[in-house]
Amino acid sequence: MRRAMIAVVSAAALAFSGPAVADEIEDSIEEALGAYRNKDFSAAKQALDYASQLIAQKNAEGLSSALPEPLAGWKAEEVETQDAAAAMFGGIRAARTYEKGDLNVKVQIMGDSPLLATWMPMLGNSAVAAAMGKMTRIGKRRALQTKDGQVIMVVGNRFLVMIDGSASMEDKTAYAAAIDFDHLETL
């Protein structure tokens, strides 16, 4: 009976004490704080940059859940998150390629990116948008179908959605309609 009681108390103590090891983000922030306190500003910045990159990766993983499942007859590749392009342009990114025979559709969602500042005024200006392609609606959202065969949308003034590939515009708009926009707007 005494051993059982000790086991229960030990298990409860472990459960309420939190994780035994802090996660990698917390470790990096703690490392930065220690370096800052020691006036090693270069090391502090490197550790904070690393923590920031890890946080961006977690955000990109949240984006991936907004990507659609493959439509009937299509296969999907693994989701790509936070690649070199996203790191170069800033922000977060999740993308997935869908294939059906020789056809493909690539859906990319970028968030907190400087590219968004470029696209928002263009999509908001009817004359500029008309010069680039055709404005349309996908569900209740405005989208640009470019002359190059892309579908471009801005969601919640925070996310840039770009859909391209060798498939028809009908297939691309079907994938656009299948994005979980409600989830995106909660991120």
Query: What are the residue boundaries of the structural domains of the chain, listed by start?
Result: 2-59, 69-186
Specify the amino acid at residue 128.
V
User: Measured between alpha carbons, how far is 24 from 165 in angstroms, rounded to an integer?
Assistant: 37
Q: What's 131-150 look like in SS3?
A: HHEEEEEECCEEEEEECCCC
The pLDDT, as a whole number, for residue 20 is: 35
**What mean pLDDT is predicted for residues 37-59?**
86
User: Measured between alpha carbons, how far is 119 from 115 in angstroms, rounded to an integer?
Assistant: 6
Q: Tokens 């949308």 identify what position?
A: 153
The pLDDT, as a whole number, for residue 19 is: 44
* Chain centroid offset of residue 161 CA: 10
Predicted structure pTM score = 0.71
Q: Tokens 């869908």 identify what position?
A: 98
**What mean pLDDT is predicted for residues 53-72?**
84
**What mean pLDDT is predicted for residues 131-137?**
88
Contact indicator for 119, 154 with CB cutoff of 8 Å:
yes
User: Measured between alpha carbons, how far is 161 from 152 in angstroms, rounded to an integer?
Assistant: 6
Contact indicator for 165, 105 with CB cutoff of 8 Å:
yes
CATH topology of domain 69-186: Protein Transport Mog1p; Chain A (3.40.1000)
Q: Which range, of 1-10, 24-33, 42-51, 117-126, averages the lowest pLDDT?
A: 1-10
Count other C-beta atoms under 10 Å from residue 4's C-beta.
8
More confident residue, 90 or 76: 76
Q: How far, CA to CA in Å, does 12 sit from each of 4, 18, 23, 80?
A: 12, 11, 21, 39
User: Measured between alpha carbons, how far is 52 from 5 in angstroms, rounded to an integer?
Assistant: 44
The pLDDT, as a whole number, for residue 15 is: 36
Is the confidence at residue 92, as pLDDT, over 50?
yes
3-state secondary structure of 106: strand
The pLDDT confidence band at residue 6, using thresholds 50, 70 and 90, is very low
Is the confidence at residue 93, as pLDDT, over 60?
yes
